[in-house]
Amino acid sequence: MRVLLLICGIASASLAQASELLIIASPQVPVSTITAEQLADIFTLKKTFWTRNIQVVPVNREASSEERETFSEQVFNLPPQELGEYWNRLRFQGKLPPLIQTSDQAVLSFVRSVPGAIGYINANQKPSGVKILLQIP
Amino acid sequence: MRHKLLAFGFFLLWLTFSAVCQAEGYELGQGWPVGDYLLSGYVNVELVDRFDAPTKLDLDDLSLFASGRINKWINPFLEAELSSYTLIQQGGGSGGGDFVVERFYNDTNITDQNTLRIGKMLTPLGYWNLVHAAPLIPIITRPYTTARGFEQYASGIGWLYDPERSGQSNWQLYWQPDTEWFKRPASQAPRSFSDVYGGHIDLPLGLLDKIGASFQHGQLIETGETFTLFGLNGNKTFGKLKLESEALTADFSGTVLPGATPRVHDYESGIFGLADYAITSKWHGILEGEYYLDHTVYNSSRTVLAAFAYKPSEPMVWKLEYIYQAGVSLSFATITTGWKASFSTLF
């Protein structure tokens, strides 16, 4: 029985961890923390510059990923499809929606190497060479 | 001409799909990044069964966008498309179609909130005109209210204000000092405009919901009349139900040029309302109704439309709709009684 409880505990802990995200950014960005509201402004393309010379470059996961679903629900309280629709409409209006990277490692590598980049990865990752601005939820 | 258009269409398809197929991690609908640029677009194929014309299958739109984000000063955007190409029709025949440069402009980010746009751009009159790509709109048949009575494109200069925080109002002003650049063919733009200026303001009610107001003033080249237009638009989501509406009214004045269609009203007005209910996450049921009074005919056009849409994935949509049109059939009519079906996807 104890073993069963232990297995359930480990399973639920790992599930909880999978639903947590780290917001990471390039070392060049001029902030060390960020609020959920500021994050929403960045991913809705409202805020496009960190400073006069550093553009904000938001990075997204693919639509089918668990991280994208968590991000959409935690930051915007919307299903990923509605947020995807919003970005598609912006793209048709000539704006560049967040770039897609298809794994945590790809997001990490991109954010590490592109000045102004900001993205999210699963909280079970141990990122290096980037700033961690926020953990959600 | 037909073969050139077909060749251009296949070139666009080859360019896009050969590129995206090689791109690691490419997802349909997300476009293809090339350095500081993003190549993307959409395709729309329509089956039209009007009661007053042969049934036909059209390549309604094959559209390619290229948008760049180079620096604060240089952010170009191009949209070119092959449109209204008949693939096959009852009784034989194919062809037609037009190559159109829909938009070509550069954005300069004066500040984070203020953008100077120079080139050929969509006019922000209502909401539909800004986002009219087939995969992004709920029905196949575009209401007259969203297209007929005003200049859809401004070739000149625009100023866009978009606040840094969500929830605050944004606005846009534009001025077209002369006529349209890369003029669209008469089949797509039966009215031509010059000396156009206008503006639009939006008040967001959420991420996707908003209400807006528009203004446009200009001159109709074919008739010599001047017009002043005011419009309102709004959309609001209530759970699975999305409601959307646009309305406009325009005053016309000035002496009509000899030989041009005389006006019978000094005004033109229209309104449509649309309800889109998400039956499931993939199936939608849609109802739409429209009233439109053209300033060159005595009677109005009334339309009722019922539709289903199936969205197997985010960028892709199948649509089926029945349109019932009553009252007068307008010149250059694009809405007539009958069935339409379509498939469209972003790429």
- Dihedral pair phi/psi, residue B61, rounded to 5°: -150, 130
Instruction: Identify the closest residue of chain B to A98 by CA–CA distance.
Output: B30
Contacts of residue B346 in chain A, CB cutoff 8 Å? 88
Q: How confident is the model at residue B260, as a pLDDT?
A: 92
pLDDT at A17: 42
Is A108 strand, coil or helix? helix
> Which residues, 6 or more positions from B21, have their beta carbon under 8 angstroms from its beta carbon?
none
Residue B194, burial from CB neighbour count under 10 angstroms (0-12, 13-18, 19+): middle
Asked if residue B157 has pLDDT above 60, the reply is yes
What pLDDT score was predicted for residue A13?
Answer: 43
In this prediction, residue B16 carries a pLDDT of: 53
pLDDT in tens, A101-110: 989 999 999 9
How many CA atoms lie less than 13 Å away from B5 in the CB half-sphere?
A: 20
Distance CA B19, CA B257 (A): 51
Task: Give residue B86's identity as a one-letter amino acid code.
Answer: T
Asked if the bond preceding A137 is cis, omega within 30° of 0, the reply is yes
Those residues whose C-beta lies under 8 Å from the C-beta of residue B303, and which sit 6 or more positions away, are: B141, B143, B272, B288, B289, B290, B292, B323, B324, B325, B326, B335
**Cα separation of A117 and A115, whole Å?**
6
Checking if the pLDDT of B214 tops 90, the result is: yes
Separation CA B311–CA B343 (nearest Å): 10
> How many residues belong to chain B?
347
Segments of chain B assigned E as strands:
32-34, 37-50, 56-68, 76-89, 95-109, 114-122, 153-161, 170-176, 193-204, 210-220, 226-238, 241-253, 267-278, 283-293, 301-313, 316-327, 338-346
> Across the interface, which of A52, A84, A92 has its CB nearest the CB of B133?
A92
Closest by CA to B268, choosing from B309, B298, B307, is B298
Distance from CA of A78 to the nearest CA of B (A): 9
How many CB pairs below 8 A link A and B? 80
| B64: pLDDT strictly greater than 70 | yes
**Does B40 sit within 8 Å of A63, measured CB to CB?**
no
- Residue A25 near chain B (CB below 8 Å): no
- 3-class state of residue B100 by DSSP: strand
- Give B-chain residues touching A93 at CB under 8 angstroms: 122, 130-131
Best mutation target among A42, A48, A64 (most B Cβ atoms within 10 Å) is A48
**Residue B346 sits at the chain A interface (C-beta within 8 Å):** yes
* Interface predicted TM-score (ipTM) over 0.90: no
Distance from CA of A10 to the nearest CA of B (A): 32
Distance between CA atoms of residues B288 and B304, nearest Å: 6
* pTM given for the model: 0.85
Chain-chain contact of B162 with A46 (C-beta, under 8 angstroms): yes
Please determine, for residue B54, whether its predicted confidence score (pLDDT) is greater than 50. Answer: yes
pLDDT of residue A11: 44
The first and second tokens of residue B259, run together, are 């030989």
